[in-house]
Structure 1
Amino acid sequence: MNNKVTVTIANLDYTLIAPEEDGYIEKVGAFVDEKIRQVMKDSRASLTDGAILTAVNITDIYFKERLISENLRVQLKNSMEELSKLQAELSEAKRQNFGLEKELQKLTSQPNHHTQTN
């Protein structure tokens, strides 16, 4: 179900309709308002120019965050592969250790056939 929320951006009210929660939609509106105010405060640009510059700035943020996200995905994939490799090595080491413990137990439980002479 879509939610209908009115947000104020650059002193103008906009009614947004979206499936997200009201709080989320308000947060998005507040973010855009903040970004457009930052562009407009030091500029004599028209509201249209300010909106376009704001769109460029937000798109820049978006692309940078997307790049960071992709890098994190690659790092996570590499870490998961390394973890899988280490788990396999650990499993093999445990298997070898178990075999060596059994062999040691077998050797220590056998009677000693060597006699010590003085």
Structure 2
Amino acid sequence: MATVEIVSFGFGHAGAPAAHLVLDLREHFRDPHVDPRMRELTGFDRLVRRTVLHTSGVRRLLRASTRQVQAFVAGPSGGRIVVAPGCAGGRHRSVVVAEQLARRLRRRGHEVTVEHRDIRLPVIDR
């Protein structure tokens, strides 16, 4: 199996990392940041995780992304595959999607590493 690296990030802090697959979560999925109760939380907090996973389309995106990674793995070169889910600040949606995608891929036998590039950076004022 290929090694999969997942790097969550926030577009508001810096550009997307070099990746084979970039998932831009900013416009199509509800942002927990707009709820003051969740603004300072991260994707590791239960409330944020539940909110993101109950957003219409997120689970479908996770299934499709899992299939895309498996298509890369099936290619002739295999090797390392980098996936970069990004949201505005890199604290909420991108973290949840990264962790859930890693979980799905590990269940399919892939070696997966996860890095949350911007999770410790300040919340972006919007």
Q: Tell me the TM-score normalised to structure 2 length.
A: 0.25
Q: Tell me the TM-score normalised to structure 1 length.
A: 0.26
- Structure label with greater radius of gyration: 1
Per chain length, whose mean CA-contact separation is higher, i.e. which structure has more relative contact order (CA < 8 Å, sep 6+)? 2
Bigger share in strand: 2
